[in-house]
Amino acid sequence: MRNIGIGIIGGGYMGKAHAVAYHAVGAVFATNLRPVCELVCTTTETGARETAKKLGFLRSTADWRILVADPLVEAVIIACPQQFHRDIAVAAFKAGKPVFCEKPLGSSLADGVAMVAAAEASGLANMTGFNYIRTPASQLAREIINSGEIGEITSFRGEHLEDFYANPSEPVSWRTDGRANGAMGDLAPHMINGALALAGPIVSVVSDIQTIHKTRPTNDSTARDGMAKVTNDDQGQLLCRFENGASGSIFISRVATGRKMGYTYQIYGTKGAICFDQEDQNALWLYDSGVKSNRQGFTKILTGPEHPDYKAFCQGAGHGTGYQDQIIIEAKDFLTAIETGKPVWPTFRDGLEVTKVIDAAWLSDEQKKWVAVN
């Protein structure tokens, strides 16, 4: 075992989640690389010092360039807004440091292409953060599909629905400004990544993307009637054609009243089907058309120690894992990639494939027609 210095850029929701994960991952998975939370970067020096104290970092800075260049930082975690992802990742690879980047890979397709080029030229470990597909249940779903247990996939239906902007009285914020921060930039990457992981490459899409609440309250005294324009999308619907011939639909919304973590999918095959709901993330529903007709129906499988990555957290079936555990699994996988020098899914290139689908969806919405992803 040896220590490895970790630098995290961002001290908000995801910055905290990654900090907790790197404090815990060595104990949970007995990793050969034992993280040391060396340096954290946030937007101000005062805020960075406070964040370092709260999250258990040895040092802090308000300049990501200082973090990337620091000799004690051996791996960089990017957990800040996507408009900064490209510059940070390229600089870190040039400095010879592996990079884990939260989704989406960048704020544009051009960003993603540049980041993949930098990652692959460096030969260093790189990963994109798609945590939901790493639940033991979804890992089990991938195993079932890849083994052929449900036969050839005929259709995929996926949703990522939340309601944090369902209330039209919710004021404007950074989330309501700019395409990269809308539902297609924020929520869609997770479900599109899930679709690619479970059903395979998407070759074409047709989409309808909407802004439901076009204005929201603002504290800006110069704004007319105290309202400001929302400059990004609230929801989007995609019809997909997969490379294997399957059809698919994906619905994304941040205004789906009542949904807190509506990451769900239904996959239908020639021999069976799978259903999953993130709000019940420790269960997978499996239908086997091969059993007797008077025994047919969906069976609920409770995840347990025999399923991927579960046993490290708990030895009892049905006790379950949670959101933070998904981030710990990601940390374990990233450390494995660094230690072995072998790519661990999803790499930056896998993240780029998600960006390509989103880019095609926007083009389809603008042109009102089917668009090829590549």
Q: What is the pLDDT of residues 271-282, one digit of tens each?
A: 999 999 999 999
Average pLDDT over residues 330-343: 97
Q: What percent of the chain has pLDDT over 90?
A: 97
SS3 190: helix
Q: Show the tokens assigned to 68.
A: 């990337």
Task: Report how far residue 259's alpha carbon sits from residue 41's, in angstroms, rounded to the nearest whole number.
Answer: 33
SS3 141: helix
Q: How many residues are there in the chain?
A: 374
The answer to whether residues 229 and 218 touch, using CB atoms and an 8 Å cutoff, is no
pLDDT band at 367 (very low <50, low <70, confident <90, very high): very high
| pLDDT-wise least confident of 26-35, 173-182, 248-257 | 173-182
Q: Is the pLDDT of residue 221 over 80?
A: no
Task: Report how far residue 314's alpha carbon sits from residue 331's, in angstroms, rounded to the nearest whole number.
Answer: 18
Average pLDDT over residues 17-23: 98
Angle at 191 between CA 101 and CA 158, to 5 degrees: 175
| pLDDT-wise least confident of 68-72, 150-154, 218-222, 245-249 | 218-222
Nearest of 135, 128, 154 to residue 354 by alpha carbon? 128
For the chain, list the domains and their CATH numbers.
2-129 (3.40.50.720), 133-367 (3.30.360.10)
pLDDT at position 223, please?
79
- pTM, to two decimals: 0.95
Q: Is the pLDDT of residue 179 over 80?
A: yes
Average pLDDT over residues 53-80: 98
Q: Is the pLDDT of residue 220 over 90?
A: no
